[in-house]
Amino acid sequence: MSGSARAVLDAESRATRDDHDALRLWLRLLATTLSVEAVVRQRLQARFSTTLARFDYLAQLERVPQGLRMRELSERLMVTGGNVTGLTDALASEGHVVRDPDPDDRRAFRVRLTPAGRRAFRAMAGEHEAWIVELFTGLSAHELAQLRALLGRIKRQVRATGGTI
C-alpha cells in the first residue's frame, strides 16, 4: 500500500472478524487509550518539556496537599520505589517538590508540592484537560455520558471478578 492508503496498525488491528465481539471491543479500547495517551505524551513534551510520568506524579501530589509517603506514591502510580525516587529527586532539584519528615514515622518522608510545583502542575492540568476535550469533541454530551456509563459497568464487572482498579 502507498502512504495515505496504508492502514495504521495498532492494538485493534490484531482482531479478526472471527474474534469474539468482547475481544474486538477490548482491542479497540486499548488502541484508543494508547492513541490518546500518545497525543498527551507528545503535547506534554512539546509544551512543557515534561513526561506523562512526571505529570501523573504531580497530579497525585496535587490531590493531597499534606503530601504522600514515597510508598504511597509508588502504589498510586503503580511503579517501583526506584522510579518514584528518581522522579522525586528530579522534581525536588527543579523546586517542584520537597521531602518533609513524616510526623507519624521518623524513618519516612512525605513528599509534597511546592508553590512553584503547584503552579506548574495547574498550568499543565489546564492544558491537559483542553487536549482531552479536543480529542473527544466528536462525541455529544449524551454519547459521552453513555460511554462513561457503559465503561463503568465493565469496571464494576472486572472488580466483581476479583480485578483491581
For position 1, what pLDDT does the model report?
A: 42
Q: Is the pLDDT of residue 11 over 80?
A: no
Look over the chain and give the mean of its residue pLDDT values, rounded to a whole number.
Answer: 89
For position 5, what pLDDT does the model report?
A: 40
For position 8, what pLDDT does the model report?
A: 59
Give the pLDDT mean for 92-103. 93
For position 80, what pLDDT does the model report?
A: 82
Residue 17's pLDDT band, with cuts at 50, 70 and 90, is confident
Q: Is the pLDDT of residue 12 over 70?
A: no
For position 134, what pLDDT does the model report?
A: 97
For position 20, what pLDDT does the model report?
A: 82
Report pTM.
Answer: 0.83
Q: Alpha helices of 63-161 — where are they, by DSSP H?
A: 70-77, 81-93, 115-135, 141-160
Tens digit of each residue's pLDDT (9 = 90 or more) over 100-129: 988 888 888 899 999 999 999 999 999 999
For position 106, what pLDDT does the model report?
A: 83
For position 18, what pLDDT does the model report?
A: 75
CA distances from 120 to 8, 54, 91 (A): 35, 11, 11
Q: Which three cell numbers stand for residue 117?
A: 510545583
Nearest residue to 111 via CA among 120, 121, 99: 99
C-alpha 59: how far from its chain's center?
Answer: 9
Q: Cα–Cα distance between 109 and 71 in angstroms, integer?
A: 10
Beta bridge partners of 109: 101
Contact 85, 71 (CB under 8 A): no
Tens digit of each residue's pLDDT (9 = 90 or more) over 124-158: 999 999 999 999 999 999 999 999 999 999 999 99
Q: Cα–Cα distance between 32 and 34 in angstroms, integer?
A: 5
CA distances from 100 to 67, 73, 78 (A): 9, 14, 22
CA distances from 139 to 88, 142, 143, 147, 148 (A): 38, 8, 6, 10, 12
For position 6, what pLDDT does the model report?
A: 42
Q: Report the percentage of the chain scoring pLDDT > 90.
A: 66
